[in-house]
Structure 1
Amino acid sequence: MRIFDIIIANWRRWLAVTLAVVSAIALSSCNPTQFKSQAAQVPQLVASTLGDPKTFNYALNQASPNVFAFIYEGLIGENGVTGAIEPALAESWQISEDKLRIVFTLREGLKWSDGEPLTADDVVFTYNDIYLNEKIPTDVRDVLKIGESRALPKVQKLDTRRVEFTIPEPFAPFLRTTGLVIMPAHSLRESVKTLDSEGKPKFISMWGVDTDPDKIIVNGPYRMASYQTNERVVFERNPYYWRKDAVGNPMPYIERFIWQIVENTDTALLQFRSGGLDMLGVSPLTFSLLKREEKRGDFTIYDGGPSSGTSFIAFNLNKGRKKDGTPLVNPIKSRWFNTVEFRQAVAYAIDRQTLIDNIFRGIGKTQNSPISVQSPYYLSPQEGLKVYDYNPENAKQLLLGAGFKYNDRGQLLDANGNRVRFTLLSSSGSRTAEAVGAQIKQDLSKIGIQVDLSLIDFGTLGEKLGNSFDWECYFGGFTGGVEPNDGANVWAPDGGLHVFNQKPQPNQSPIIGREVADWEAQIGRLYIEGAKELDEAKRQAIYAETQRLSQEYLPFIYLVNPLSLAAVRNNIQGVKYSGLGGLLWNIQELKIEQK
């Protein structure tokens, strides 16, 4: 999402849940000009985000934005404008005729940020010991699972610079899955081998946000220099980064990158307008103001086209119970949420065009699909995708047909006379999120539903969604990309981000009595079929069916697809902003023109 201003700088492009619906490129009340006085001659870029990092361990990450796009690379990368696959740590690769084998050749002389050599051993370790290790609870494994058997690729070293990946059956996204970041064997191998008192690898507790940044060994354009909770992450140029420009100059060009941590977007706007911030995600609420100030403020507003992410509300459909017998969701409300007509009625009752006109200032379109509009697999309404244009009367008829009823005050009751009322959670710190939530509350009141809007901090929301599962409805979004299979961990019933009916992960408490609906299982099967189908026309047909099912059964009720807009100081050169890649996907190419 963009206003919803997510920095989709992760060119590795696997879908990560966005719990902060406005993870804006913003700035906190700490004045970044202090850094300029402390290091006057050091070229530096100042941007920021809502919320602290959740982990420095890539394999365990579930949140976006995150630090990994700046500090790590994989064998391949993805162009943030075109979506094309490009060489990264691997200078080349060869795919066998039967599409079951890829041999990668690493660049010569690769090094980690501590100067140690980066070799094929690191690649094999990353995949075999971390991503494919069943003892490590990583969402990455969901993306690598192949076919009905859910088999995993085999990875072996051929020599110091060559690594072979093999799979048992055709897997269309095979090449793109090798863009996962490579992690350092010399720093992490011992933690994978060593088990704690519960028999879990020590790796699971490695590289949390309390780790000294100097201990985090990386291979990307930057390494972390410092992290101060609720304040900032400071990145410095990785002296061993492999990229050089056409004339041999080391990259990235900008020596220091400062990521401020903010609590709200109002402060961000003030700081940008006062000149303390180099870039800002532009929301529809601030577009007109900033557009008038472009010349005076010496900045340019870039239009990156439609956002590649999604925004939605989702209901907790999990029918399970905690091990003490307590239901995750009140059984009365669970029956409402698991009634498809109820979800469809809610979809019809939300006036998305008014959301666009009033809150998004006309800068966006209604959203109907989980697949990014930039993807060749996107199914448009013109091609037959079901839509839920505002129709409160239709919503009421669906509810009455499903056994709900109205009292003499127009309040919606279920068949047993219970008042229909639920809590909608959203991340705090954004006027846009508050406004969207307020309108949804107002819209649903028109069909007799009472919504209690609860704005909570990023960390608490993440805990509820990903650990305690203690929630009824939430407003959030996912990042997007070209390859649908990058969302396999969202749509597979046992996926780590199957948030609307979450299965507990290996390190979490069990859930008793969880059920998987037929349509839910069917979407999961279709994602498996789509991944193994090599014929592009057939793949498109398969993913079209997943979108039809998603819109029929509405595990996510999609809202708005805004334009991606960002304001950048004119002395920042090399910007290639897009809705697909975001603002900082090519951070290694950015330059600061000295005035």
Structure 2
Amino acid sequence: MERLMKFTAIRRRQLLILLGFILGIFAIVVVSCFQTHLLAKPVKNSQIIVSSSVEPNTFNPQLMQQGVGILTYLYEGLIRENGQGKIQPALARSWQISEDKKRVVFTLRKGLKWSDGEPLTADDVVFTYKDIYTNAAIPSYAKDFLQIGKNRSFPTVKKLDNWRVEFTLPEPFAPFIRTTKLEILPEHILRSSITTKDSAGRPLFLSIWSTDTPPNQIISNGAYKLESYIPGERITFRKNPYYWRKDFESHTQPYIDRIVQSTVSNNDTALIQFRSGGLDFIDVNPNYFSLLKREEKQGKFTIYNGGSQIGTTAMMFNLNTGRRNGQPLIDPIKSGWFNMVEFRQAVAYSINRPRMINNLFEGVGALQNSPIAVQSPYYLSQQAGLSVYNYNLQKAKGLLLKAGFRYNNQGELFDVDGNRVRFTLTANVGNKVLQNMAPLIKDDLSQIGIQVDLNLIAVGLVVDKLANRLDWDCQIIDGFPMTIEPNEAINIWSTKGNWHFFNRQPQAGQTPITGQQVADWEQKIADLYIQGAAANEAQRQKIYAETQKLSQEYLPFIYLVNSLSMVSVRNHIQGVKHSALQGTFWNVYELKSNPINN
């Protein structure tokens, strides 16, 4: 879920402190110049120790469902996004777009190499897009982003020479350049896994680069390569000696030799390890902010505030009416409730989101009401027509009664057939926010007569239910992506999308289901996203406004609350430019650390 996961906001100061702001800017310029000089030389034997509660299920980037944060270290695409979300050259040094916006030619940097020293050329780009991303036999997450137009056609790609690649689009597609940040993969290593099939006729690519693959066999093109992996303990990344970046003084980047990612079971354990000096970095949970702020100077770390998160908390019901192997994915009685829009709206009205902000975020947060981030130019505000569901038990109960539900003398809710309204709410037990949020939701829904059973499980099991088993009732998710460019959520809103969790279709290689239905509003949102990608700017504004209205009316996701994006980083790490949009390590190649004390 965390792929998700990688997001910016800048808090503006008041005119009252304008003078201080100007002086602050002057100080930043001076310090930045000084830091640039400090970063002029790599330091040998330097490292950063970070943590994650999630381990990758595979080291194959296109099949990775959890632990995707490590891809920041290992891979680059043709372009990249900086901390403000602006497009910058990466493996491609330039590109040209034709007048009809249907042809794009990328020119690669010369001298690019893979982490094993082999050349990276146009052949790798063509192979990645043609043989992996658009291969019907491979359930690549990239597919959702590359399907264009109503017919969901893929761009064609061809090699012009060793350094130039031409993409031809079936129609103009506004997000295309941004889409090419997708990882480029090595043809010389992976080609045979595409052409060779297993006994079931599936490409060996589906099983290559598993977590038991020797690290030196996993080839990357990013700032780092995989050095070692000890399941349940740590993943270690070593500086890629063939990485292309150099600074202005021609020193090779990255500056830090090694990154160690320790496997830590939960947020509380990570906090203990950070405070004791065992970690160099930690995400700042709002519950930890006051404590860490008091210790900031003595602990020799800095808390960075990147602004409002672009990943929010959200709740969703399983709307899938399908059957697998003759058995319904969801109890048909529950499925009937979940698929009533009045039921979902009643639940939205019954959730006391202000209480969540006060209890879980210590007042440092905001209500989220849209699938598009407030920082996006496409965001629709309440004043412009976006529906919101402020806490209102009277409205919630009224909607349920109107839909045919009834209460007994004890205030318990029953459906029209006399079934007690009761379902299971699933969440990641390792996530402190969700761990504390689930009981609040249980309590809120009890106020409208609904009994909620909590199922707090490991994140790997959560992912398995969402992506494979599809047999869950209701989920709450933290870090649910709020996008700046709406099309980057196409895999959520396309009815066949890999992240269309609320009514997910089986992906390539998964057991089929029968009897699945797609609602009219669900298809309408998917169609609007397709139209929006091909439209001009003025049209896109109107189209995405309509998608937000439909999303809030029919509530496939009940958006909850949003916090600030804050991290604590040890002061010996220099060059940090934390961004809510891209995280802390988007510029990992620029970071510098003091050497290891042996």
Question: Is residue 223–residue 235 contact of structure 1 (8 Å, CA) maintained in 2?
Answer: yes
TM-score by length of 2: 0.92
Aligned twin of 1:53 = 56
Aligned twin of 1:66 = 69
Question: Is residue 56–residue 67 contact of structure 1 (8 Å, CA) maintained in 2?
Answer: no
Question: Is residue 226–residue 234 contact of structure 1 (8 Å, CA) maintained in 2?
Answer: yes
Alignment of 1:75 with 2:78, yes or no, is yes
Give the match's secondary structure for 2:466: helix
Give the match's secondary structure for 1:551: helix
Question: Is residue 314–residue 474 contact of structure 1 (8 Å, CA) maintained in 2?
Answer: yes
For 2:216, the aligned partner's letter is D
Aligned twin of 1:326 = 327
Distance 2:134 2:558 in 1: 33
Alignment of 1:149 with 2:151, yes or no, is yes
User: Alignment partner for residue 531 of structure 1, among 533, 546, 549?
Assistant: 533
After TM superposition, the runs of 4+ consecutive aligned structure 1 residues lying more than 4 A away are 6-11
Give the match's secondary structure for 1:296: coil
Question: Is residue 300–residue 570 contact of structure 1 (8 Å, CA) maintained in 2?
Answer: yes
- The correspondence of residues 422-571 of structure 1 with structure 2, limited to 5 A, is 422-476=423-477, 477-533=479-535, 535-571=536-572
Alignment of 1:364 with 2:368, yes or no, is no
1:393-430, CA deviations, whole angstroms, 9 ceiling, x for partnerless residues?
11000000000000010001001111101000001123
For 1:539, the aligned partner's letter is R
Question: Is residue 55–residue 67 contact of structure 2 (8 Å, CA) maintained in 1?
Answer: no
1:17-76, CA deviations, whole angstroms, 9 ceiling, x for partnerless residues?
xxxxxxxxxxxxxxxxxxxxxxx9610001111121122111112335432111000000
Q: How far apart are 1:205 and its partner, in Å?
A: 0.8
Aligned twin of 1:309 = 311
Aligned twin of 2:219 = 217
- Assess, with a 3 A threshold, how the Cα gap between structure 1 residues 518 and 445 changes in structure 2: closer, same or farther: same
Distance 1:139 1:41 in 2: 37
Give the match's secondary structure for 2:539: helix
1:62-109, CA deviations, whole angstroms, 9 ceiling, x for partnerless residues?
3354321110000000012x2110000001111111111111110010
Give the match's secondary structure for 2:93: strand
1:239-270, CA deviations, whole angstroms, 9 ceiling, x for partnerless residues?
00000001100000000001111111111111
Unaligned stretches of 5+ residues in structure 1:
12-39
Give the match's secondary structure for 1:118: coil
Distance 1:225 1:302 in 2: 29
For 1:396, the aligned partner's letter is K
Give the match's secondary structure for 2:298: helix
Aligned twin of 2:13 = none
Aligned twin of 2:406 = 405
Q: How far apart are 1:310 and its partner, in Å?
A: 2.6
Give the match's secondary structure for 1:447: coil
Give the match's secondary structure for 1:505: coil
Q: How far apart are 1:593 and its partner, in Å?
A: 4.2
Aligned length in residues:
561
Alignment of 1:116 with 2:118, yes or no, is yes
Question: Is residue 424–residue 453 contact of structure 1 (8 Å, CA) maintained in 2?
Answer: yes
Aligned twin of 1:96 = 98
Alignment of 1:159 with 2:161, yes or no, is yes
Aligned twin of 1:87 = 89
Distance 1:9 1:252 in 2: 20
Moved more, 474-483 or 182-191: 474-483
Q: How far apart are 1:578 and its partner, in Å?
A: 1.3
Question: Is residue 111–residue 118 contact of structure 1 (8 Å, CA) maintained in 2?
Answer: yes
For 1:554, the aligned partner's letter is L
Question: Is residue 55–residue 66 contact of structure 2 (8 Å, CA) maintained in 1?
Answer: no
User: Alignment partner for residue 248 of structure 1, among 247, 250, 259?
Assistant: 250
1:193-242, CA deviations, whole angstroms, 9 ceiling, x for partnerless residues?
01112111111111121211111010000001001111111000000000
User: Alignment partner for residue 178 of structure 2, among 163, 176, 179?
Assistant: 176
Distance 1:545 1:156 in 2: 37
For 2:78, the aligned partner's letter is L
Question: Is residue 10–residue 69 contact of structure 1 (8 Å, CA) maintained in 2?
Answer: no
For 1:530, the aligned partner's letter is G
Moved more, 374-383 or 390-399: 374-383
TM-score by length of 1: 0.92
For 1:67, the aligned partner's letter is I
Q: How far apart are 1:10 and its partner, in Å?
A: 8.7
For 1:338, the aligned partner's letter is N
Give the match's secondary structure for 1:158: strand
Aligned twin of 1:36 = none
For 1:51, the aligned partner's letter is V
Give the match's secondary structure for 1:93: strand
For 2:218, the aligned partner's letter is I
Give the match's secondary structure for 1:510: coil
For 1:292, the aligned partner's letter is R
Question: Is residue 371–residue 483 contact of structure 2 (8 Å, CA) maintained in 1?
Answer: no
Distance 1:511 1:48 in 2: 38
Give the match's secondary structure for 1:566: strand
Aligned twin of 1:28 = none
Distance 1:322 1:222 in 2: 42
Question: Is residue 7–residue 579 contact of structure 2 (8 Å, CA) maintained in 1?
Answer: no
Distance 2:391 2:212 in 1: 47
- Assess, with a 3 A threshold, how the Cα gap between structure 1 residues 516 and 402 changes in structure 2: closer, same or farther: same
- The correspondence of residues 251-262 of structure 1 with structure 2, limited to 5 A, is 251-262=253-264
Distance 1:208 1:493 in 2: 29
1:355-414, CA deviations, whole angstroms, 9 ceiling, x for partnerless residues?
001111011100011112222212122322111010011100000000000001000100
Distance 1:204 1:310 in 2: 31
Give the match's secondary structure for 1:295: coil
For 1:229, the aligned partner's letter is P
For 1:238, the aligned partner's letter is N
For 2:167, the aligned partner's letter is F
Alignment of 1:384 with 2:370, yes or no, is no
Distance 2:7 2:451 in 1: 38
For 2:211, the aligned partner's letter is V
Q: How far apart are 1:482 and its partner, in Å?
A: 2.3
Distance 2:261 2:594 in 1: 20
Moved more, 251-260 or 430-439: 430-439
Give the match's secondary structure for 2:491: helix
Alignment RMSD, CA only? 1.6
Question: Is residue 107–residue 163 contact of structure 2 (8 Å, CA) maintained in 1?
Answer: yes
For 2:435, the aligned partner's letter is E
Give the match's secondary structure for 1:453: strand
- Assess, with a 3 A threshold, how the Cα gap between structure 1 residues 125 and 10 changes in structure 2: closer, same or farther: farther
Aligned twin of 1:581 = 582
For 2:255, the aligned partner's letter is Y
Q: How far apart are 1:115 and its partner, in Å?
A: 0.2
For 2:194, the aligned partner's letter is V
Q: How far apart are 1:432 and its partner, in Å?
A: 2.2
Percent identity over the alignment?
A: 58
Give the match's secondary structure for 2:302: strand
Question: Is residue 56–residue 65 contact of structure 2 (8 Å, CA) maintained in 1?
Answer: no
Question: Is residue 329–residue 472 contact of structure 1 (8 Å, CA) maintained in 2?
Answer: yes
Unaligned stretches of 5+ residues in structure 2:
9-42
Distance 1:208 1:530 in 2: 37
Question: Is residue 502–residue 556 contact of structure 2 (8 Å, CA) maintained in 1?
Answer: yes
Aligned twin of 2:16 = none
Give the match's secondary structure for 2:94: strand
Aligned twin of 2:47 = 44
Moved more, 293-302 or 477-486: 477-486
Aligned twin of 1:374 = 375
